[in-house]
Amino acid sequence: MAGSRIKLELSRVVQGESRLGVLKGLGRTGQHCLEVPGCLLYSHLGTVPHLTQDTLHTLKNIPAVTQVTLSSVAEHQEVLQEFKGGFKKFAGLHDTVVYCSLHDPAALCPPGYTTNKTVSVWGSGGRIELTVAKFMAIQKTIQPDWYQSMADGETWQSNTSRKRLRKSVDRTLAHLDECLTIHQNSQDLQGVEVFGVVEGGDILEERARSARETAKRPVAGFCLDGFQTGSMDQTLRTQLIKAIAKELPEDKPRLLQGVGRPDEVLACVEAGVDLFEGFFPFQVTERGCALSFSFDISLDPERAVLELNDDETCRAGEGQPNGEVTDGDQTQMTSFEINLKDKRYHDDFRPLVEGCGCYCCVNHQRAYLHHLLVTNELLAGVLLMIHNTAHYIGFFSTLREALANDKLDLLKRR
Amino acid sequence: MSLKKTLCVASPLTLRIVAECPVTKARACDLILPHSAVSTPVFMPVGTQGTLKGITVDQLDGLGCQICLGNTYHLGMRPGPDLIEKANGLHGFMNWKKNLLTDSGGFQMVSLVELSEVNEEGVKFKSPYDGKEILLSPEKSISIQNSLGSDIMMQLDDVVSSTVTGPRVEEAMHRSIRWLDRCIAANKNPDKQNLFAIIQGGLNADLRKACLDEMTQRNVPGFAIGGLSGGEEKDDFWRMVTLSTDHLPREKPRYLMGVGYAVDLVVCVALGCDMFDCVFPTRTARFGSALVPWGSLQVKHKQYAKDFQPIDPDCPCPTCKRHSRAYLHALFKSDTSAMHHITIHNIAYQLTLMRSVRQSIVDGRFPEFIRSFMKQMFPSPDQYPSWAVDALASVNVTLE
């Protein structure tokens, strides 16, 4: 495979691990770029949940890359085949880069369905079993700008045996090699990039081996799998990612799957991750919550303390664990959000977040959102998705700023 | 808008008749209301709980909507009139800058809720949220609507299903007149909010005529034709509509409540109605049913899985400009936004239809419009609904 067009230009590497830069050469014509650390735009079948193009484009600085999952697309293979124009055209996506992942980070798969030759995804009609051949056939109908290779990632449970983990690394490498062979011989996939997937569960040697071996293949970047929120605590995750990073080339991007909480994002950036899946705002939206954590690093310390207190009193009576990782339950509310269904918001006429310039905060108030949630109105999801996405994008923007100006510590304190 | 400045502030409603069809009873008007002008004939989408089901106010505005509905019963329950008043009325609460019409809550009393008793006082019912007994009187309904701050308020009427016959219909008609007077007296904001009367009388021509005679003596800025669109025979329906418009003043708007199917809209414009509302277009959208000039399209059906055309190739709405039937079909399996796409399209369809109707009246070619509309909607003339043929014939329009 010819040298990948995707180029990671690093402008800073902090303490040998955190990286700041720009991912260039994205898309078929190579004209898109994505700043790192950054997040992808999460979608269901190419649509950001709840949003149409009008509502989506009220957002500024939308990530240039949209993530599409095989779990939503696979069942439409026949339709795409007949359509012939590729997924982007099918979905009416005009100006974005499409990255195709295997799984939906917001929907955990039931375990026990991978074999030596197959993995499974779950569509609206049930389970779809994929061999590499079928996987690649679907990629040909999708024609993404880049995709992750087929991988055996069923290792996120904490009691997976060493033998099983070794198998996941071996299988994933075998899948990768098969994918690459088909890829290199396919006209339809010319110009499309492939990311290898690093497996190995919670065993350092397996992680290192997976990373080392994957790095030998001609891939454009690396997905780090099996680190999903809830699968392990952050200390271990950081340790493993650092070990992986040592085996990976500096100039290729690392995409961490299944991690979206701001505190975990920060820690993983420090360990050497460049890209994250952008599903966290969606999860927050689905539980009727609004992201409200402050990430403003330009405040003077005194005001900063006041803001922090305000947020805390908002969450005070709710008895939520403060930023702790719960037992893999991604649906649990975090300390980064406010629960708008709470009665206290029923006559709160402030915007969701003071100073947030998103469509929701400019036009609506907490009391209105509360009403929409209490009455089960569809608009709640629309407005919350807009705000939560805007807030999250803002967080990443500040994260990059902090990295550029050595203010990462300030950000961590928030 | 300089027009606003030159108008008499004392009246929050002015109707300017722009054109009258020389053949039918149709009119095209400019209805000047406190928040903006409204071009009639107009279809008003229904935003029951202070929201139009998944559509932002910007999107609604972008589609050209100038007036939509809020529901007094629902909003009176949740979040309640006091909270909405604190939020600067329903306009402030939902951030809608154009016009709002609120109904009285009367229809929900009948259609939704376990009715305890209707008497002269009002409608007594059990709240579905805490089981408490609540009395909705004319005064209470107007009080809530005053808090909501809508541009047009509806009187509380004694609502009786259109399929009911006998003395109850007459009782309800007379009571509605008395309740109209109580509503007029209770209106705290006659200079900002317009109170419309609602003509009752069921399907009985004499009762309806009696109601018309009485209610038109009251000085209200507009009249609604109520008690219809509830499952009665269409043959009776249109006769009551045309009887009503025959006896309503020319210079005040006529609002036919609960009418929203395309054919019904076109026919009732011909019979002299100016304003319409219905949940149908937005409700059916959420089930994947897209309205088109030749009927409707069930996007969720298998036959559209590989149909790469837009819903309507001639439709300029955001949905049709970007998406195909096949994509929407697939999207229904993945995300709620599929509903929003269809909702946007259906509202666009309704508003475009009314715009075309209005233009044809202004251009003096409404009868031709009706004929080509019917041709597009039905595969052949023998499929034209007979009630529509009769109704149109009564206003001098012969279909093939």
pLDDT band at A320 (very low <50, low <70, confident <90, very high): very low
b (16+ CB within 10 A) / e for A42-68: bbbbbbbbbbbbbbbebbeebbbbbbb
Q: B interface mutation test: which of A42, A375, A376 has the most B CBs within 10 A?
A: A375
Q: Which pLDDT score, from 0 to 100, does residue B162 have?
A: 83
B327 contacts A90? CB cut-off 8 A:
yes
Q: Are strands B123-126 and B133-136 parallel, antiparallel or unpaired?
A: antiparallel
Please indicate, yes or no, whether residues B295 and B261 belong to a single structural domain of this protein: no
Q: Which pLDDT score, from 0 to 100, does residue A155 have?
A: 67
Q: Which pLDDT score, from 0 to 100, does residue A347 have?
A: 97
A92 touches chain B (CB under 8 A): yes
| Boundary-marking domain end, from B277, B304, B332 | B277
Number of domains in chain B: 2
Q: Which pLDDT score, from 0 to 100, does residue A314 have?
A: 43
B235 annotated among ligand-binding-site residues: no
- Assess contact for B264 and B387: CB atoms under 8 A: no
Q: Which pLDDT score, from 0 to 100, does residue B186 have?
A: 98
A363 contacts B95? CB cut-off 8 A:
yes
The candidate with the shortest Cα–Cα distance to B76, out of B137, B34, B161, is B137
Q: Which pLDDT score, from 0 to 100, does residue A230 have?
A: 84
Is B19 inside a domain boundary?
yes
Q: Which pLDDT score, from 0 to 100, does residue A325 have?
A: 37
pLDDT for B40-90, tens place per residue? 999 999 999 999 999 999 999 999 999 999 999 899 999 999 999 999 999
Cα(A349)–Cα(A365) distance, rounded to whole angstroms? Answer: 5
Query: Any bridge partners for residue A276, and if so which?
Result: A39, A256
Catalytic residue among B103, B151, B158, B264: B103
Kindly report the nearest CA distance between residue A177 and chain B, in angstroms.
31
Is B110 inside a domain boundary?
no
Structural domain harbouring B241: 14-102+141-277
- Assess contact for B331 and A45: CB atoms under 8 A: yes
A90 contacts B326? CB cut-off 8 A:
yes
A53 contacts B324? CB cut-off 8 A:
no
Q: Is the dihedral of CA A328, A334, A340, A343 positive or negative?
A: positive
Is B6 inside a domain boundary?
no
Which domains are present in chain A? 7-277 (3.20.20.105), 285-412 (no CATH)
- Assess contact for B56 and A379: CB atoms under 8 A: yes
B326 contacts A79? CB cut-off 8 A:
yes
pLDDT for A394-406, tens place per residue? 999 999 999 998 8
Kindly report the length of chain A: 414
Please indicate, yes or no, whether residues B266 and B289 belong to a single structural domain of this protein: no
Burial class of residue A259 (count of CB atoms within 10 Å of its CB; 0-12, 13-18, 19+): buried
Whether B312 is catalytic is: no
The candidate with the shortest Cα–Cα distance to A322, out of A305, A338, A336, A342, is A336
pLDDT band at A330 (very low <50, low <70, confident <90, very high): low
Which residues of A fall within a CB distance of 8 Å from B326? Answer: 79, 83, 90
Kindly report the nearest CA distance between residue A45 and chain B, in angstroms.
7
- Assess contact for A36 and A22: CB atoms under 8 A: yes
Q: Which pLDDT score, from 0 to 100, does residue B363 have?
A: 98
Q: Which pLDDT score, from 0 to 100, does residue A30 have?
A: 85
Q: A interface mutation test: which of B340, B343, B344, B345 has the most A CBs within 10 A?
A: B340
B105 annotated among ligand-binding-site residues: yes
A123 touches chain B (CB under 8 A): yes
| Boundary-marking domain end, from B251, B277, B303 | B277
Is B270 inside a domain boundary?
yes
B74 contacts A375? CB cut-off 8 A:
yes
Cα(A44)–Cα(A73) distance, rounded to whole angstroms? Answer: 9
A55 touches chain B (CB under 8 A): yes
Please indicate, yes or no, whether residues B164 and B235 belong to a single structural domain of this protein: yes
Q: Which pLDDT score, from 0 to 100, does residue A327 have?
A: 38
The candidate with the shortest Cα–Cα distance to B344, out of B360, B323, B364, B362, is B323
Is B9 inside a domain boundary?
no
Is B374 inside a domain boundary?
no
Is B7 inside a domain boundary?
no
Kindly report the nearest CA distance between residue B96 and chain A, in angstroms.
10
pLDDT band at A298 (very low <50, low <70, confident <90, very high): low
Please indicate, yes or no, whether residues B255 and B291 belong to a single structural domain of this protein: no
- Assess contact for A50 and B335: CB atoms under 8 A: yes
Which residue type is seen at A57? Answer: H
pLDDT at A342 over 60: yes
Of B94, B305, B337, the CB nearest to A51: B337
A346 contacts B79? CB cut-off 8 A:
yes
**How many contacts does A have with B, using Cβ atoms within 8 A?**
122
- Assess contact for A318 and A342: CB atoms under 8 A: yes
| Boundary-marking domain end, from B254, B277, B300 | B277
Please indicate, yes or no, whether residues B342 and B257 belong to a single structural domain of this protein: no
Which residues of A fall within a CB distance of 8 Å from B306? Answer: 78-79, 82-83
Please indicate, yes or no, whether residues B296 and B154 belong to a single structural domain of this protein: no
pLDDT for B346-355, tens place per residue? 999 999 999 9
Please indicate, yes or no, whether residues B83 and B228 belong to a single structural domain of this protein: yes
Which tops the pLDDT comparison, A298 or A308? A298
- Six token digits for residue B138: 């004319």
The candidate with the shortest Cα–Cα distance to A321, out of A269, A373, A261, A411, is A261
Please indicate, yes or no, whether residues B226 and B342 belong to a single structural domain of this protein: no
3-state SS, chain B, equals CHHHHHCCCCCCCEEEEEEECCCCCCEEEEEECCCCEEEECEEECECCCCCECCECHHHHHHCCCCEEEEEHHHHHHCCCHHHHHHCCHHHHHHCCCCEEEEECCHHHHHHCCCEEEECCCCEEEECCCCCCEEEECHHHHHHHHHHHCCCEEECCCCCCCCCCCCHHHHHHHHHHHHHHHHHHHHCCCCCCCEEEEEECCCCCHHHHHHHHHHHCCCCCCEEEECCCCCCCCHHHHHHHHHHHHHHCCCCCCEEECCCCCHHHHHHHHHCCCCEEECCHHHHHHHCCEEEECCEEEECCCHHHCCCCCCCCCCCCCHHHHHCCHHHHHHHCCCCCHHHHHHHHHHHHHHHHHHHHHHHHHHCCCHHHHHHHHHHHHCCCHHHCCHHHHHHHHHCCCCCC
CA neighbours within 13 Å on the CB side: how many for A43?
31
Kindly report the length of chain B: 400
CATH of the domain at B53: 3.20.20.105
Please indicate, yes or no, whether residues B171 and B310 belong to a single structural domain of this protein: no
Q: B interface mutation test: which of A59, A379, A386 has the most B CBs within 10 A?
A: A379
B337 contacts A49? CB cut-off 8 A:
yes
Q: Is the dihedral of CA A266, A250, A176, A140 positive or negative?
A: positive
Residues 335-394 of A with CB under 8 A from B: 346-347, 349, 359, 363-365, 367-368, 370-372, 374-375, 377-379, 381-383
Closest residue in A to B54 (Cα–Cα): A379
Ranges under pLDDT 50 in chain B = 1, 5-9
B336 contacts A381? CB cut-off 8 A:
yes
A133 touches chain B (CB under 8 A): no
Provide ipTM, 2 decimals.
0.94
- The chain-wide mean pLDDT, for chain A, equals 89
Which residues of A fall within a CB distance of 8 Å from B50? Answer: 368, 371
A361 annotated among ligand-binding-site residues: yes
Edge-to-edge strand ranges of the sheet holding B194-199: B42-44, B275-277, B254-256, B222-225, B194-199, B152-154, B99-103, B67-71
Which residues of B fall within a CB distance of 8 Å from A76? Answer: 330
Please indicate, yes or no, whether residues B196 and B257 belong to a single structural domain of this protein: yes
The mean pLDDT of A344-364, rounded to a whole number, is: 97
Of B95, B330, B337, the CB nearest to A50: B337
Catalytic residue among B264, B274, B277, B312: B277
pLDDT for A261-280, tens place per residue? 999 999 999 999 999 999 99
Which tops the pLDDT comparison, A324 or A169? A169
Whether B103 is catalytic is: yes
B104 annotated among ligand-binding-site residues: yes
A360 annotated among ligand-binding-site residues: no
Is B314 inside a domain boundary?
yes
pTM of the model: 0.94
Of B78, B306, B330, the CB nearest to A371: B78
Distances (CA, A) of A395 to A292, A391, A400, B264: 11, 6, 9, 52
B56 contacts A52? CB cut-off 8 A:
no
Please indicate, yes or no, whether residues B181 and B301 belong to a single structural domain of this protein: no
The mean pLDDT of A180-191, rounded to a whole number, is: 94
Closest residue in B to A368 (Cα–Cα): B93
Cα(A319)–Cα(A339) distance, rounded to whole angstroms? Answer: 12
pLDDT band at A310 (very low <50, low <70, confident <90, very high): very low
Distances (CA, A) of A301 to A395, A406, A407, A408: 19, 16, 13, 15
Please indicate, yes or no, whether residues B266 and B322 belong to a single structural domain of this protein: no
B59 annotated among ligand-binding-site residues: no
- Six token digits for residue B122: 């009002």
Which residues of A fall within a CB distance of 8 Å from B334? Answer: 44-45, 47, 72, 124
Closest residue in B to A75 (Cα–Cα): B330
Burial class of residue B192 (count of CB atoms within 10 Å of its CB; 0-12, 13-18, 19+): middle
Closest residue in A to B344 (Cα–Cα): A52
B157 annotated among ligand-binding-site residues: yes
